[in-house]
Structure formats: C-alpha cells, structure tokens
Amino acid sequence: MSQRTCLSVILAAGEGTRMKSALPKVLHQIAGLPMVAHVVKAAEAAGASGVALVIGHGADEMRKTAAKFAPEAETFVQEKRLGTAHAVIAARAAISKGYDDVLVMFGDTPLIDADALTVARLRLAEGAAVVVIGFRPPNPTGYGRLIEKGGKLIAIREEKDCSEEERKIGFCNAGMMAVAGAHALKLLDAVDNKNAKGEYYLTDIVEIAGAQGLDVVATEASFESALGINNRAELAQAEAIWQQRRRHEAMLSGVTLIAPETVYFSHDTEIGADTIIEPNVWFGPGVMVASGAKIHAFSHIEGATIASSCDVGPFARLRPGADLRNKAKVGNFCEVKQAVIEEGAKVNHLTYIGDARVGAGANIGAGTITCNYDGYSKFFTDIGEGAFIGSNSSLVAPVTIGNGGYIASGSVITESVPDDALAFGRARQKTIPGKGKELRERFASAAAAKKKAAGTDH
C-alpha cells in the first residue's frame, strides 16, 4: 500500500447557487479553512501524492486560493458542466500520468475522513478496479442506492429508478470513489450521455466495469464524513460537527475544556496538555499554546504563541504576532499585537501593547498604551527587564524604557529612559482651596437658569 502512488481528483467547479454568494462554494470556510482545503488535507493524509483540482466558477479566485493550501496542485477548468464523469475527464492530463490509484472527491465534502479514503485504496490494492464509498444517512430519501450482490457492487440506482424493494436499501452513494489507475481512463471514456439530461455520469462506470469483468466493491464511511454542503445552514452544521470532533480530540489529549460547546478552534490550533480553557474562547488561525497555560473566559486569540504556564484573560485579545513567553500574564481587557511578552512579565488590565517588547518580570500598569502608529508608519517600544510602568501611561514610540526603569502613573513618555531611572511625563499638580465648591455652585446656577428659560423648571 505504501508503495502505491495516488492521485486525488477533486471536483470543485460547481457554482453553489444555493449559497447565495459571490464566493465560489468550495471556498467557504470551515474552522478558518476553505472547504476544498479540508478535502485536500484528507486526501494527502490518505497518501495522495498528486492533487488535480477541477474548477469552473471563479477559476481565478480558486487558483489564487489553492496556491496557499495546495501549491503543488494542478488545476483544470471544466468549461461546460456536463456531468460528473465529464468533470473528472477534464483532469485527463493528470490521470494519464500513470498513478496506481485515483481518488475522485468533491470539494464540498469537508468532513471526509482520511481513514475512509485509506480503506478504499486498500480495496484497490487487493484487486478491485472501482471502489465506491457509501454511507447510511438517517433518511435515505433522495440518495442513490448501492445495489450489491455476492459482496460485489453491481449498480448505483437513482431513487426515481429504484423498485419498491430497492428503496428500502439504506446504503447510499456518497459520490466519492477510488479507481484503479490502470483502468481509469478506459472506464471514463466508455461513459456516454444517453440519458434524460444528456450528461456524463461518473456512477455509470460501476456497470461498465462490471460488464468488463472487473471487480467493483463498496466501502462505508460515516454519515458525517460524507456530508455535502449546499447552503449556509449545512455549512453551519458542518462547522458544528468539525468543532465537536476537535474538542473531543483536545480533551482526550489532556486539555481541560470547562464548557466544550462554547470553545471554537481553528483548523491549525495547537493546544498542549494540562492547558485549561474556560468558556467562550475563540481561537483563530495560527495559534500555538504550550502545556499548562490557562485561558480565561471570553478571550479572542489568533496568530499568537503562548508558552508554558501563561495566564491569559478574561476578555483578552491576542492578535497576530503576540508572543507570550513562560509564565507571562495578559489580563482582562488587554490587547497585544506584534509584541513579545517575556518570561514572568505582567500586562494586567485595560492595556494595549503593540509593536513592542516587554522584558522579563516587567509590570505594566492598568490603562497603559504603546503609541505605535502615527497615521503612516509603525514604531517600536522596548521595555526592559523588571521595568515598572505606572497606570495610565502612554509610551510614544519609538522609545526605550531601560531595565528596572520606573514610569510614574499618568505619564506621557516621549524620550527613552535609562536603566533604573524614574521618569515623570505629566504636568505638576496644582491645588486651589475652595475652588471645587465655587465650581459646583456656578454649574448648578447655570443649569437652573437653562431649565427656567426652557420652561422645564417645576
């Protein structure tokens, strides 16, 4: 099996009109990754070394997106939509390269399990010429039935053509199949369009192969794995299934999810064992969390690295480039972007740290902001080890706070501060006895006069 080569032909040319979107259907995302990319990943996990994407609607956008998740994939345009077999044959140039196995898949089945594809390939290795992947939906109405006899698949019968007895069959066609590369083009070329729609149906190769004395069998995938997406409601259903799977995997790997149904992962989220995740946490793409971290409720994290024993949130936002080192703390209502928070440093509350380094053991007081943007360019703030930044301070970049530097609360710092220095950047306080009472009386009198003039004084 490991020596057999495999091509995955992924059909992704559908317009997806029921999605009611300008975006090609297969580019709609599950867990932050286009549906078709999930299919590619499953094919690769099953050993496919080649990927052929058959595209149509939004071809330019498809190519641009595919270059990100499948840079080695070949793309083929199906100019006219004349059926599934016609779509597969659009990839003739790839199929003719002589792969041992050819997997035919659909770009709108993002939950397909790599194991189901591997089983189909194993049946090819055992001598089958065609392997159809079937499933057992809760309600088979509307699906083509798989007709088996003596352990062989003899036909795929559309429901409208089924007899009363055949309609009772619960084993249905999932659409995906594996075909022996040695027979693929010969079988595809034998498909004709002598039917009511004048289209070339991939399912016809089952009977064509049987008539040629070739073995045709069916394997079974779970209903969830075969779920096709046609509209936004089904997209949401698939997202829920994917999230449920991923949460289960995380918990089995040693991650504590206090309220699993409220935590949302991205396709590439990595969470270390002994991490505790509180309710309502959202992970965007590019997040890595090491062991022993704690992510408090209502935190939003993307493009961030969180080291061992860090403490994040509640209500924290970590944006791309946030890099928290061991035992760092980013507390409630804080935002960190493109910044390193070094070991043991604390960014406790109501703070923005962007384009910066916070040195080991430093303490950032409430309401501190790094003023990193002048409307045109970004600038860097460097905060040294053990520095103390008083509450409500503004650090106007580019600026450096030396190791052990101390910034008085309420300061606006525009010049660098040496190691161990104390810096004030605020106006001197002035106190005028009795002035507060005078102001209150003046304001009260003015407010009363305004009400009287408006006729609202009762």
Catalytic residues: 349
Contact 403, 378 (CB under 8 A): no
User: Measuring CA to CA, which residue among 374, 376, 380, 414 is closest to residue 394?
Assistant: 414
Rounded to an integer, what distance in angstroms lies between the CA atom of residue 241 and that of residue 30? 10
| Max Cα-Cα span within the chain | 106
Name the β-bridge partners of 77: 55
Query: DSSP labels for 11-67?
Result: EE----GGG--SS-GGGSEETTEEHHHHHHHHHHHTT--EEEEEEBTBHHHHHHHHH
Neighbours of 364 (CB within 10 A): 32
Residue linked to tokens 């009198």: 445
Length of the chain: 458
Cα–Cα distances in Å, from 90 out to 1, 87, 311?
Answer: 27, 5, 53
According to DSSP, residue 429 is labeled P
3-class secondary structure, 133: strand
3-class secondary structure, 183: helix
